[in-house]
Amino acid sequence: MEVSRKTDYALRILSILVKNPDKVISVRDAAQASDVPYSFARVIQHDLVRSHIVSSTRGAQGGMSLAVDPKEITLLDVVEAIQGPILIAGCESAGPDNTPCPRKASCSFNPVWCNAEKILRSYFASVTLSQIVEEGLVPELSGSFRLVRSEKSLRTDKLQKQVADTLGNAHTQTAGQCE
């Protein structure tokens, strides 16, 4: 997953709105203040309005403002509003006609990609715009990871043991069994 330039620009614009909670900021002013090309800022404004993160006011005194308290807007909300769901791998749409990958059920790596997506989604969901922009906080990863055997792995281990027994090779080890 890559954070797109559009998402980066959206976060810059939202930072301006968070810092000016009681003001309606013109798209032009927000674009200038955040160093975003004006035409790109208009597209971003449309996406943020459609996602109900920003409200828009027309007219000479028009512009945009936050539609939601910045304490309620997570980084995940913004990323998914601008670039769609967080995907590490395209397993769900790698098959013909955007169907799931035909190897998904037997793929050893699919659970790894799924867990990585869960971790990233959880990380982005753990922090709000208010925490980042107003409080200067950043979520810290403090947990650790542990490896567990999947059912698929246990079946593979059993098959490898049968092959090793058949070949008389008692020294064959499966990955992850090193101590």
**Residues 59 and 112 grouped into a single domain:** yes
Q: What is the pLDDT of residues 69-122, one digit of tens each?
A: 999 999 999 999 999 888 887 777 665 677 777 777 777 777 888 888 888 888
**Residues 175 and 120 grouped into a single domain:** no
**Residues 37 and 115 grouped into a single domain:** yes
**Residues 151 and 130 grouped into a single domain:** no
Q: Count structural domains, the chain.
A: 2
Looking at residue 64, its pLDDT comes to 92
Residue 20 lies in a domain: yes
Could you give the C-alpha distances from 38 to 9, 35, 142, in angstroms and in order?
Answer: 11, 9, 39
Q: Which residue range is the domain that position 80 belongs to?
A: 5-134
Structure tokens at 12: 């810059």
**Residues 57 and 114 grouped into a single domain:** yes
Higher pLDDT, 76 or 161: 76
49 close to 64: Cβ distance less than 8 angstroms: yes
- DSSP label of 134: I
Looking at residue 38, its pLDDT comes to 94
**Residues 88 and 62 grouped into a single domain:** yes
Backbone phi and psi for residue 165, each to the nearest 5 degrees, phi listed first: -65, -40
Q: What is the pLDDT of residues 162-174, one digit of tens each?
A: 555 555 544 333 3
Q: What is the pLDDT of residues 22-71, one digit of tens each?
A: 899 999 999 999 999 999 999 999 999 999 999 998 887 888 999 999 99
Residue 85 lies in a domain: yes
* Residue with tokens 């035909």, as numbered in its chain: 102
**Residues 27 and 103 grouped into a single domain:** yes
Looking at residue 106, its pLDDT comes to 78
Residue 112 maps to which CATH number? 1.10.10.10
Looking at residue 169, its pLDDT comes to 45
User: What global pTM score does this model have?
Assistant: 0.72
